[in-house]
Amino acid sequence: MKIKPNLNDTYLTKKKIGINENFKKIKLDVIEERPVTLFLNDQEIVTMMTINDYPKYLGIGYLLNQNMINKKTKIESIEYHSDLSTIVVRTAKSTNYENRLKKKTVTSGCAQGTLFGDVMEKFKTIKFNNVSKIKKTWIYDLSKKINLTPSLYLKAGAIHGCVLCQKNKPLVYMEDVGRHNAIDKIAGYMKVNKILPNNKIFYTTGRLTSEMIIKTVQMRIPILISRSGFTAWGIELARKANLTLIGRAKGKRFIILSGDKRVE
């Protein structure tokens, strides 16, 4: 594994004292969560709650997955200022997003709905061809390997994991308090390290909501697996993009919701 959870990083968990049902004091490992603010050039974008282990990957990944930059955008620098809890992504040219926003804010503010509309427009243009396959045994192997990897989840709980995989091998294992952060960090890692998506498999411990489907499709990864459940709109979006969507993968069980032709 190129990146896996770092259990020894004292920045990521804290010891806390709790009181149990017998009114006895107990010592607990608890996950840290911090607000971090992201800027795209001069533009303040969002304040995120994160464990903050990979702020630069998180910043780049967020902008990519929100369609504020794209894979061709030339990144000049990614700065993380720990004293200000701020990530600044600087691009060579000002982005389409910033230009649209400047126009839009005058009339209706944050352009949040416009942004969502843009993401959906782009989503509609993506359809996976049947390039890659997945074997039933890989689903079992991946679930087992990921569950057995020592993680912040096993140490402290209250965290989600996302794992970029190839065949039956986990490659990049990111965790965060929100599954949207964990997937964004992987998107950022892929952009910075120029990782090709088309032969990859994405595994998440979190639910398969529309947001996770949209992000996986935007990242051009054709197969998405989760141990958790799914929503109707998530399934519909996966079917439109011909994404292979596998939910409730636990023990020997799983349910294929979309793109079953890819499963051997």
Under rule CB under 8 A, residue 79 binds its own copies: no
CB-nearer residue toward its own copies: 69 or 257: 257
Region 97-126 residues binding its own copies, contact defined as CB under 8 A: 101, 105-106, 108-113, 116
Least distance from its own copies to the Cβ atom of residue 196, Å: 28
Is 134 in contact with 264 (CB distance < 8 Å)?
yes
Least distance from its own copies to the Cβ atom of residue 55, Å: 15
Contact pick of 27, 72, 74, 253 for its own copies (by CB under 8 A): 253
Is 169 in contact with 149 (CB distance < 8 Å)?
no
Binding mask 199-238 for its own copies (x = CB under 8 A): --------xxxxx----------------xxxxxxxx---
CA distance 130 to 209: 23
Under rule CB under 8 A, residue 167 binds its own copies: no
CA 169, distance to chain mean position in Å, is 18
Surface-to-core class of residue 251, CB atoms within 10 Å of its CB (0-12 exposed, 13-18 middle, 19+ buried)? exposed
Q: Which long-range contacts (C-beta less than 8 Å, at least 24 apart) are formed by 71-75?
A: 71/191
Is 174 in contact with 54 (CB distance < 8 Å)?
yes
Q: Which two tokens stand for residue 208?
A: 């398969």
Under rule CB under 8 A, residue 45 binds its own copies: yes
Interface ranges with its own copies (CB under 8 A): 13-14, 16, 18-21, 23, 26, 28, 30-35, 37, 42-47, 49, 101, 105-106, 108-113, 116, 136, 156-158, 177, 207-211, 228-235, 247, 252-257, 260
